[in-house]
Structure 1
Amino acid sequence: MQTIKRQSLIAQVTDQLRAEIASGRWSVGDRIPTEPALCDMTGTARNTVREAVQSLVHAGLLERRQGSGTYVIATDEQEVAFADFFAAARRQDLMELREALEVTAAGLAARRRDDADINTLRVAQELRNRAWTGVVDPGVAVDTDAQLHRAIVAASHNDVYLEFYDSLLPALRQSVAQRDVASGPSYTELHDAVVDAVIAGDENAARTAARDLLAGVEEFD
């Protein structure tokens, strides 16, 4: 960071804090420096820093946690806007979007997956299966489900797909969390079929398995 020397201090400090997040120096989940530390880093008064931080809280990039500090929860405003839009979308619209994205991504993943992807998929598959066997913690079950789906999309090696899917993930987590995770079906076999087809490099089978999985989830809902 550089010391602020010009006018419009709040806007300039806000831009600098945003730049720290966008650059990855402050990642999602990180606690940002305290207000006194930010004052030293920017050469501005505490009120200026507080207003700048609050601006990014309103933008959805930061979250204040009582007694703990302020944390990064998103990397840019567009991501937040997408998440809010998807969260408000009709469930049917969301499922149709998932089918268009995840079925194609599964086929691409089967064609393009590498050894690192295979290892990631196996780990994600194992974690999900464990979390969904006699569900003890619904939150963990939802998170492991989301991470497995994301790993499949990541294995497609299409950066645009993955960026868009990351914007969709909060809404997908919320959708899964609304179900009775503890007593409802686990869909373990359907998830395994997608992972196995991707790892086997069978593009047609991967697409079919992904479509069957989403159809199974939609039918239960």
Structure 2
Amino acid sequence: MSVSPLPQVARTSLVDSTIGLIRTQIESGAWKVGERIPKEQELADMMQVGRNTVREAIRVLSHANVLEVRQGDGTYVRLSVDPAEVMRRISRSSLGEHFEVRAMLETEAARLAALHRSTADIQTLRKLLKARGELRHHKTRESFVDADLAFHAAIARMSGNSALAELYRYFSGAGRTNAISVLDEQDLPEPDLKAHEAILTAIEEQMPERAAQAARSVIMPVVKTLLGKS
């Protein structure tokens, strides 16, 4: 494998900078999944850092399952994206973008939950919705947001799609601050308890399209306001 010099790494946060450079090579396709990356000394020369810095960067990316170290053979690319970095990027998305993606997830989760829900699931949703109530029922905004997210996360778990449930769990956790900040915006519509009851009813009656529409109706007014959509 030919070795080309990469941009010089700043002397601050050497490990983080090296991780970033390795990640860029992978995400750009220069180093593909299943391919062996250059040896430590080659990487050190390319990035103009010490081998210890390279070794630590590889350790971090191996822990994230982006790289795989095979003793006596070398280090191979395992994933084309770093899940942790993806979540960090999501957490830095704009308020409007956050709620737009949340709308997509909650809409599909409600649709699938209406198809797969059990009697026990409905009982769980009733308890969670009662705990959510209205904002005025909570002592803090944080308590209200946590209760609201717990309700929607339960719907995601009931979807029967573990990938969707996990994505919603991590996404909502990363966007919790965004959800709280919405409550500071006096001009933004606040989805009320009645709107959420419509989601629960549609799921209970196993009407997937109505459940999806109810979930969309809850969050899209906020999305439209934030993104300025008509």
Judged with a 3 Å threshold, the aligned counterparts in structure 2 of structure 1 residues 93 and 186 are, in CA distance, closer, same or farther, namely closer
Q: Deviations over 1:88-111 (max 9, x none)?
A: 012333233223222111111001
The answer as to 2:214 corresponding to 1:209 is yes
Q: Distance in 1 between matches of 2:129 and 2:140?
A: 17
User: Which residue pairs with 1:90 in the alignment?
Assistant: 94
Q: What is the percent sequence identity of the aligned residues?
A: 25
Judged with a 3 Å threshold, the aligned counterparts in structure 2 of structure 1 residues 181 and 155 are, in CA distance, closer, same or farther, namely farther
Give ranges in structure 2 of 5+ residues lacking alignment.
Answer: 1-58, 64-81
Question: If the length of structure 2 is used for normalisation, what is the TM-score?
Answer: 0.56
Structure 1 residue 134: Cα displacement: 4.0
Structure 1 residue 214: Cα displacement: 1.4
Q: Higher Cα Rg: structure 1 or 2?
A: 2
Check the 8 A contact 1:135/1:181 in 2, yes or no. no
Aligned pair partner of 2:105 in 101, 106, 112: 101
Check the 8 A contact 1:128/1:145 in 2, yes or no. yes
User: Which residue pairs with 1:173 in the alignment?
Assistant: 176
Partner amino acid for 2:181?
Answer: Q
Partner amino acid for 2:164?
Answer: Y
- Secondary structure in structure 1 of the residue aligned to 2:129: helix
Structure 1 residue 191: Cα displacement: 1.4
User: Which residue pairs with 2:190 in the alignment?
Assistant: 185
Structure 1 residue 212: Cα displacement: 0.7
Check the 8 A contact 1:87/1:171 in 2, yes or no. yes
Judged with a 3 Å threshold, the aligned counterparts in structure 2 of structure 1 residues 220 and 97 are, in CA distance, closer, same or farther, namely closer
The answer as to 2:148 corresponding to 1:148 is no
Structure 1 residue 81: Cα displacement: 3.5
How many residues are matched?
149
For residues 54-93 of structure 1, the aligned pairs below 5 Å read: 80-93=84-97
Q: Which runs of 4+ in 1 moved over 4 A?
A: 181-184
The answer as to 2:135 corresponding to 1:121 is no
Structure 1 residue 143: Cα displacement: 0.5
User: Which residue pairs with 2:115 in the alignment?
Assistant: 111
Structure 1 residue 185: Cα displacement: 3.2
Check the 8 A contact 1:146/1:172 in 2, yes or no. no
Partner amino acid for 2:217?
Answer: D
Q: Distance in 2 between matches of 1:109 and 1:96?
A: 20
The answer as to 2:160 corresponding to 1:157 is yes
Q: Distance in 1 between matches of 2:137 and 2:103?
A: 28
Q: CA RMSD in A?
A: 3.0
Q: Deviations over 1:104-139 (max 9, x none)?
A: 11111001101221121111111001x523442211
Judged with a 3 Å threshold, the aligned counterparts in structure 2 of structure 1 residues 79 and 196 are, in CA distance, closer, same or farther, namely farther
Judged with a 3 Å threshold, the aligned counterparts in structure 2 of structure 1 residues 119 and 80 are, in CA distance, closer, same or farther, namely farther
User: Which residue pairs with 2:41 in the alignment?
Assistant: none
Give ranges in structure 1 of 5+ residues lacking alignment.
Answer: 1-54, 60-77
Judged with a 3 Å threshold, the aligned counterparts in structure 2 of structure 1 residues 199 and 182 are, in CA distance, closer, same or farther, namely farther
